[in-house]
Structure 1
Amino acid sequence: MEPTRYEYGSLEGDSTIRLLEMSPATTDSKLFGKLIHAQFDNEVTRYNCLSYAWGDPNFTEKIWLGANQFIPITNSLHLTLTNIGSTTDWSFTAVEDPKDAKIPIWVDAICINQEDIDEQSQQVRMMYSIYARAQFVFMHLGHGQDGDERIREICATIGRGFQAYDQDTAGRLNPEPIECGTYGLPPEDAPEWKILRRVAQLPYFTRVWVIQEVVAAKRHVAFLGSTAFDIGLLVFASLNVWRHQLPVFFREANKRLYSENTSTLGSLGVLDTETAHPTMGTRGVLQLRIIFALRGFMAGGRDVRLIEILYQCRDADATDPRDRIFALVGLSQDKYAPDLQADYRETVEEVYMRVAKYAIQTGDGPRVLCCAMGRVRRPGCPTWVPDWDSKSADGCLLHTWSIEDEKVLQPTAGGDEPRFRLMESHPQQLASEAIILDSILYLGQEANVPAARPCPDPARLIKNLNIPYPALSSIRLTAMTPTRLLDELMAAFSASAQYPEDSKSELIWRTAVCNQHKGPSTPAPSWWGSVLPALLIERRMLDMGLPARIFPPRDLNMFGEKIREVSLVLRSSYTRKGYVGMVPMDSQPGDIVAVLLGCPAPVVLRPKKNVYELVGEAYFHGFMDGEALTTEKFKQETIILV
């Protein structure tokens, strides 16, 4: 009898799921099992769930259900099930009885009929509850390499080192930073750090579905190959390495460059220290941080809105762009809202529109627009609808928030009462109450950094910094960015009659950094005004080939890097009435600068007949704290965004 593809029976009721009963492994590496139907909300039903990285999407392997029926699966899933089935050592896990690891398991690719869109949508809506009711969630991180079997002892050793440091420095005002080779930590060149880095950078940690699967779980067991261990060991070790910024994961080509010259290069705005110093697979570690922050919030009963989760998790990977929404809805306080339920019959654009409209209707209009701003737009969607498939956050420099801080801080240009209205007769349009400030007349030069182009003559610029020339090829330089921007702003403020002469010096440097210190919630310190002339002098000295060091490196570095951060996404602007500010890179002469009621910062709009396209947020000193709302020369009007 010829083997045939398994035919799924229909699931009855809203709480019915399929579970996979695995058969003992065979010598020829074939996988055998049986699918059963069960009520997942029945207390008698005991099962585990699998969380893993799909990997190569091609179905090159099979799992046999009976003698002649099979379900095609990926090679990654085949290896994952094989690894878990062969695990015998549970001593570093929460599994007390090995029999608990052998109960039926829920695996999305097998237990959901992937060819039935209606069933797929219905089961995805239940996934948070499915994972939450499982006895264990098996987190298969990857298939492992030589040495990875040591991961649990490595994490335990590193974790003990950080615990000892915390105990030793408790109560000290300014303790010395922890270093490699102290408190029992491995030396800087020890292989343990390479193993930890490799594991922390595994693709598993950047999957969007992993966020829900791990947050929902009552208990976890992590697997690296067939090595089982407590995921808490890895989380504690990796987050502490990230928190203390231990210099153990530099790119070798830039290691000496960063350690010897980062202050000077950073202060000049020519070196992105995040690029030269990529500690610990940043994306994976930061997602771990978000995951366990969400676990803490849910355990403590704190509700988190979907728009907050979407913003914080924007760097996660999803094969299907719709899953950027469907994989996270279950974590939010909005999870039961009819407008947010998974429906794979809809297009990506329909899903993103539906989510944006729901958020606007529930009072999150300013955050929706914040997330929609930036260079990447979703074809087929209005400019006010975020493209959640884009990982860019370049539109949120002036207005951002964290799920760890419920308070949305500065600025408050449009007050705290959003005035948005959806247009039922025109689904692509959004009405907003606005104050038109002016139109753009001139724009400054666009920075070269987003195009990743090196400085035209980097050797001349940094010949006094003792950098081996081969390292230059891996450095992204922003030639003249700080002084170019400052020169533009000095010329613009000098030509403007809108500002008192005695305030222009301060306005120049505050505008260059958008009046930010470490973020939108912290205004730039006044002493940065004294850093400005030192920065200009040092840059001129370096340009002439002279060694330069006037101001303390750390102070120059902070100021210069903030200018560089701003200049990556904004450029200087001069309006017809003489207002000077920073606007998105994509701005054009003739674009409108406006304040939308309820939005924290001014925005740039592009006129299109009787409607406007949203370009992005802008900084204009004198309009960041609601001044436009109380000035008689400006009037409110209704505008239409498309």
Structure 2
Amino acid sequence: MVGLYAALELAPEDEIRLLNIPLKRQTEDIACELQVVKLRDNPKYIALSYTWGSPTSLNNEEGAEDISSKPSRLILCKAKSNSPAEPQPLWYRIMVTENLYTFLLKARDDESHALDFYWIDTICINQKDSEERTRQVNMMAAIYQSADIVHAWLGEEDKDTGMTFQLIRALASCCTGNERHKRIEGLKDITPKALGTRELTAKLGACADISNWKSMAMLFHRRYFTRAWTIQEITLAKKMLALCGSHTIDWEDIVKVSEFLTVTSWTRWISEVTGSHQANHAVPNILDANKTSGNILYSLIRSRRFMSGDPRDKVYALLGVAGDSVRGKSRLTPVYGKRSVAETYTLAAIQILEDSDDLLLLSCAEGDSFHTLPSLPSWVPDWSCSRALGLGVTGYRRYSAAATIPRTLEINESDRCLTVKGFRLDDIVSVGENKQDILSGKPFPNWLLIINAMPPIYYTGQSRFEVFWRTLITDTAGTPPCHPAPHSYRPAYVSWITSKLSACVNETAQQTGDSTFINALGALAATEIPGSPLSSNRPLSSHDNERPGDSKNSIDLDEYETTFSHARHLRLFLTSRRYLGVGSESLLEHDSIWIIPGSRVPLILREVNPSAFRVVGGAYVHGFMKGEALESNPLFRDITII
């Protein structure tokens, strides 16, 4: 194989190799031709976007590769001869993965692909030459931008793929307009509860069958929707076509349906069908939003759930999306072998801080529960953790905890520490269950203890239960997301918490045999929620300014839970002054809440000594997200973040 790439040596810039797959010949072997072209000559080619490993099996271990990621199938490849007078080039054997081999078979046996040229990373880059690999990775953005079309290979089809694609087309055809959040208006009457009804059958025909919806849910569960390199490939493509076996569909149709499934109660339904809380159906919608970003930190936040065989690629795969803002910056230049994963992430963090005027990066560091690299400073996010973390908002622009005070930042690159200004708002004294536990149906006695410890009227003048339901969803809901959350979500919360309390009481009674305490707290919670089925007939207080059910737009408990589940890895907490908030699962009692200029949200810090702290993560603290903490004229002091 060394001889093949030596015969097709690439110039340091502008040149790439393209692959041609002639039609099936006498032999059963796949026989391909490679040639060198210059991007400046605008060659016509298709760029392939695919997963190296199995297209359907998801490995639960973060960053782990299964055996299907290893090359196991043989193909033949030669350098294309430019002249009949030249000696016939030698055939070389190349090993590829099973998933790529399946695609090559499809392309070879389809006459419509006989004259096509492809750019396929595994074959067109000499993977054993680290210098060439680094150079070509730096050209990835140009390669995908220059392709006439990008083919997203989702893997081999199954018996349901045809109907799944038909359902996606039918749903996409109901979308109107191109403006995000408005194009799915025509789909709002299509809900999980409508499955099997005459109305839905009249609208979608055979596509209304529940089996097709289940198949669609499983399609989004394919590995393609979690691969880090697809972010750049999809974002930069001029045009995309998705292929699954012999079936094809416009990628834009997938994007529209992804948005619809993401912002409605279908999210909860899909998690139940797939048995997984990984919301892969949201990925096309997320990547569509990423097209207008150009900000590498925003892209990193949106793509946390993605995986890559090499954890450094969690950063490198996004450089093309960031474009000119990262070009020529040595800290972000792809380096394989010589630079560790921790060093890659730390250098990227320093560059992001230098290029920005805020401290958004610090709110992306989620504490010990989400750090697997021991040498990583606490303020550097561990991007190898493939879980969607944070408060569920990419840039936190709807918040301004430190108002307009500019940041103060000193970066000590040699010691890997930061100096910032901030003031301590309060300390955490009670910690509740995390959202993931609640979504899994576990009891939540600590939530009830926190509710009981809160004053009936919060410092904002709202009732504690008004504060509670808003805090659980970071006071953000609706389509498009609205802050503060619409009052119409309040009755949905009442139904939701009542169902959770009932299950909590029953399970606790079964486990302990004594439900007296939990019943008392459950009754306290339910009776003080205006409009609850267990509520007393007391009049509404002046703070409970809308009765559940008054809203013209009815929101049900499924929609509240959908909103609640958008940020799963959060934990409820209460501070010594009885402020309520949610923050990283990593938080502990005695951690402190800080307002730090430059950070749009309060930060949770863990004290190492009186002047040095470790970052635990960003937080939502009700009543302190719009600069309210500055009304007392607090004193800011220098602290070190290590």
Distance in 2 between the 1:244 and 1:108 partners?
Answer: 37
Distance in structure 2 (CA, Å) of the matches to 1:199 and 1:500? 48
Aligned partners of 2:305 and 2:386 also within 8 Å = yes
Matches within 5 A, 1:106-185: 106-149=119-162, 155-160=168-173, 177=190, 180-185=200-205
Residues 140 and 602 of structure 1: is their aligned pair in 2 closer, same or farther, counting only changes over 3 Å? closer
**Does structure 2 retain, via aligned residues, the 8 Å contact 1:509–1:529?**
no
Corresponding residue to 1:336 among 327, 330, 333: 327
| Partner amino acid, structure 1, of 2:443 | A
Matching residue's letter, 2:425 = L
Q: Of the candidates 335, 357, 368, which is equivalent to residue 350 of structure 2?
A: 357
Paired position in structure 2 for 1:263: none
In the TM superposition, 1:39-438 aligns within 5 A as 39-43=38-42, 45-55=43-53, 56-66=68-78, 67-88=90-111, 98=112, 102-149=115-162, 155-160=168-173, 177=190, 180-186=200-206, 188-189=208-209, 192-236=212-256, 239-240=259-260, 275-276=271-272, 283-295=279-291, 297=292, 304-333=294-323, 334-338=325-329, 339-344=331-336, 345-363=338-356, 365-374=358-367, 375-377=369-371, 378-396=373-391, 400-401=393-394, 408-413=397-402, 415-426=404-415, 428-438=416-426
Structure-1 separation of matches of 2:601 and 2:419: 18
* Alpha-carbon spacing, 1:511–1:225, altered in 2? closer, same or farther (3 Å): closer
- Contact between 2:419 and 2:640, CA under 8 Å: does it hold in 1? yes
Query: In structure 2, how many angstroms separate the alpha carbons of the residues matched to 1:133 and 1:527?
Result: 47
- Distance in 1, Cα, partners of 2:149 & 2:426: 59
Cα distance change of structure 1 residues 215 and 611 upon mapping to structure 2, 3 Å threshold: same
The secondary structure found in structure 1 opposite 2:203 is coil
Deviation at residue 49 of structure 1 after TM alignment = 1.8
Counterpart Cα distance in 2 of 1:489 and 1:449: 16
Q: Deviations over 1:388-438 (max 9, x none)?
A: 1113344335xx236xxxx81124235452222211442x10111111234
**Structure 1 residues 529 and 411: alpha-carbon distance in aligned structure 2, compared to 1, 3 A threshold:** farther
2:22 aligns to what?
Answer: 23
Q: Distance in 2 between matches of 1:480 and 1:281?
A: 19
CA–CA separation in structure 2 for the residues paired with 1:170 and 1:68: 52
What is the CA–CA distance in structure 1 between the aligned matches of 2:140 and 2:360, rounded to whole Å?
27
In structure 2, list runs of 5 or more residues that go unmatched. Answer: 54-67, 79-89, 192-198, 507-518, 527-531, 535-547
Alignment partner of 1:518 is 2:477: yes
Task: Output the CA distance in 2 between the equivalents of 1:237 and 1:592.
Answer: 42
Aligned-pair CA distance for 1:549? 3.1
Provide the residue aligned with 1:549 in structure 2.
533
Separation in structure 2 between the aligned mates of residue 534 and residue 109 of structure 1, nearest angstrom: 52
> Does the 8 Å contact 1:438/1:593 carry over to 2?
yes
Name the TM-score, length of structure 1 as normaliser.
0.74
Q: Write the deviation string for residues 555-575 of structure 1: whole angstroms up to 9, x where unpaired.
A: 777778878988962233333
Question: Which residue is equivalent to 1:447?
Answer: 433
Deviation at 1:220, TM superposition (A): 3.1
Q: Distance in 1 between matches of 2:46 and 2:353?
A: 38
Distance in 2, Cα, partners of 1:59 & 1:78: 9
SS of alignment partner, residue 102 of structure 1:
coil
Of 465, 470, 491, which aligns to 2:453? 491
How far is 1:85 from its partner? Answer: 1.7
Say whether the 8 Å CA contact 2:430–2:573 is kept in structure 1.
yes
Which has the larger displacement, 623-632 or 73-82? Answer: 623-632
Q: State the secondary structure of the residue aligned to 1:523.
A: coil
Q: What fraction of aligned residue pairs are identical, expressed as a percent?
A: 23
Aligned length: 558
Matched AA of 2:352: A
Aligned to 2:442, which of 478, 482, 490?
Answer: 478
CA change 1:510–1:195 in 2 (3 A) is closer
The normalised TM-score by structure 2 is 0.74
- 1:518 is paired with a residue whose SS is coil
1:319 deviation in Å?
1.7
SS at match of 2:132: helix
The root-mean-square deviation of aligned C-alpha atoms, in Å, is: 4.3
Question: SS of the counterpart of 1:321?
Answer: coil
Partners of 1:171 and 1:219 in 2: CA distance: 21
Q: Is the 8 A contact 1:447 1:567 kept in 2?
A: no
Does the residue aligned with 1:638 lie in a helix, a strand or coil? strand
Contact 1:409 1:521 in 2 (8 A): no
Once the two structures are overlaid, the 10-residue window that deviates more, 505-514 or 119-128, is 505-514
- Whether the aligned pair in 2 keeps the contact of 1:156 and 1:233 (CA below 8 Å) is yes
For the residue of structure 2 that corresponds to 1:181, the secondary structure is helix
Q: Give 1:529 deviation, angstroms.
A: 8.5
Tell me the alpha carbon deviations over residues 99-141 of structure 1, each in whole angstroms, 9 at most, x when there is no partner: 7x62332110011111111111110110111121123323222
What is the aligned partner in structure 1 of residue 84 from structure 2?
A: none
Q: Distance in 2 between matches of 1:150 and 1:530?
A: 37
Instruction: Give yes or no for contact 2:391–2:583 (8 Å, CA) kept in 1.
Output: no
Structure 1 unaligned blocks of 5 or more = 89-97, 251-271, 298-302, 455-474
